[in-house]
Amino acid sequence: MNPTSTIDLARISSMDCTQAARLLASVRHARLTGQRPRVLPRPVIEESWGRMLLDGVDPDRDFRSRLLGVEELETRRRASPLAEVMPLLRDALVSVADAAHHIMVVCDADGRVLWREGNSTVLRKADSLGFEPGADWSEGVVGTNGVGTPLVVRRPVHVFSAEHFVETHHQWTCAGAPITDPRDGRLLGVVDISGPLNTMHPTMLALVDSVAKLAEARLRENHLSALDRLRSVAAPVVARLAGRAVAVDSHGWTAAVTGMPPTDRFALPGSLAAGHTWLPSLGPCAVEPLPGGWLLRVEEEPQPLAATRVVLDVRGPRRWSVTVKGGSAGGWTHELSPRHAELLFLLCTHRKGRSASGLAEDMFGDPARTVTVRAELSRVRRYLGSLLAHRPYRFTEDVDVEVILPDHPANLLPHSTAPAVRAARRVPEP
């Protein structure tokens, strides 16, 4: 008989811990040996197990990565925007974690453990697993877990007992939620609560997710304050200029503008330096540094020729980019948000074009969600400009488009739930 039900957290939490662990162990064993399980694993766990099997992660024993040295760990801590919100994370989670016999763990976007605090007994147990500052807890190293898996799927994940791919982690339960940078959507890392198997509580995931959202809100407040400081410096400078000019922070957010309609944000290349550059939304610009940002003065010259090549790189599990090459635009790279990576992959797949309703069906399974699609494509055009045409949406015919895919289709944009991306992940039967 085919399995007719799927495990969910409510069902697991209502069971005795030992009984739930035994059930999950039987499901995992069936998956690893090709047998028919009694019930289906949760989809997020099933997909993660599939990635682990493709990546060759050993399910029977753990792998310890090289720990970061003390200096390298401190350098990462200082460079991480998460350092700004560590006081908030401590206040919200450490006392709760300690009382519940858990620990709070904060990792960067690479899965490296930057901070770890909480119950002293549990900290010692974590040491025995190599779950310590400087360790790499990305999915491809230690298997399905509450740090690495949220980094891949970009949403909160609770992993209980034998849902961990590696057997040595089965005595643990962990709940992790990603934290993204509100300035550019970049993934900053994960905050995780972990503890022994018998300490599981179904509300832990909701708590961690709420605190992650509070951290993002605090980062947003800090960004607005920094933008106000830049505005106080830039506004008098811009007001004295003739022609078109804009002052932006390092992420392209506008602080002051003259000679053109105000825009919330301008897409900047991956690296920007004083001198001259070309931006799709502005054309040729002179770039001058400001305290906390840049002054972009538009050079009134003929519009440069369009770029001749666009390279979409979606081979990684967590980072994706689009690179524009050739023509007067020179070359520059822009890191993509998860949604824009999906959209551009679909446009590369449909070179003859796709209507808004077609893209809505590809992304959401609902052709009526055209407003969302059009809004996202208008944001994409801020950095690709005339390289994208519409009616239907497509790359222009004179642009050579290249897509760099992962080694295996199953690893394509693993965060994505878009029907068309899920279909592209499936390997045809031989």
**pLDDT score recorded for residue 330:** 55
Contact 324, 396 (CB under 8 A): no
Contact 280, 307 (CB under 8 A): no
Contact 398, 392 (CB under 8 A): no
Name every residue whose Cβ is closer than 8 Å to that of residue 206 and which is 6 or more positions away in sequence.
none
Beta 103-108 vs 293-298: how paired, if at all? unpaired
Q: What are phi and psi of 202, to 5 degrees?
A: -65, -20
- Residue whose token pair is 């893209």: 359
Supply the angle between the helices 356-364 and 338-349 in degrees, to the nearest 10: 120
* pLDDT per residue as tens digits for the range 127-173: 999 999 999 999 989 999 999 999 999 999 999 999 999 999 999 99
The whole-angstrom separation of Cα 155 and Cα 333 is 26
Contact 148, 137 (CB under 8 A): yes
Nearest to 372 by CA among 384, 382, 357: 357
The whole-angstrom separation of Cα 301 and Cα 299 is 6
Beta 113-118 vs 283-290: how paired, if at all? unpaired
The whole-angstrom separation of Cα 292 and Cα 228 is 10
Q: Which residues pair with 295 in a beta bridge?
A: 247, 288
Contact 104, 122 (CB under 8 A): no
Sign of CA dihedral 179, 180, 183, 186: positive
**pLDDT score recorded for residue 329:** 47
**pLDDT score recorded for residue 216:** 97
Which segments in the chain show pLDDT lower than 50?
A: 1-2, 304-305, 328-329, 429-430
**pLDDT score recorded for residue 225:** 96
Sign of CA dihedral 110, 114, 118, 122: positive
The whole-angstrom separation of Cα 324 and Cα 322 is 7
Name every residue whose Cβ is closer than 8 Å to that of residue 184 and which is 6 or more positions away in sequence.
251, 252, 335, 337
* Token pair in block for residue 309: 């090549």
Name every residue whose Cβ is closer than 8 Å to that of residue 28 and which is 6 or more positions away in sequence.
41, 49, 59, 162, 163, 165
Contact 136, 111 (CB under 8 A): yes
**pLDDT score recorded for residue 4:** 59
**pLDDT score recorded for residue 386:** 75
Nearest to 363 by CA among 344, 387, 336, 382: 344
**pLDDT score recorded for residue 327:** 53
Contact 359, 345 (CB under 8 A): no
Residue 292 Cα to chain centre, angstroms: 25
Report which residue type is found at 43.
Answer: P
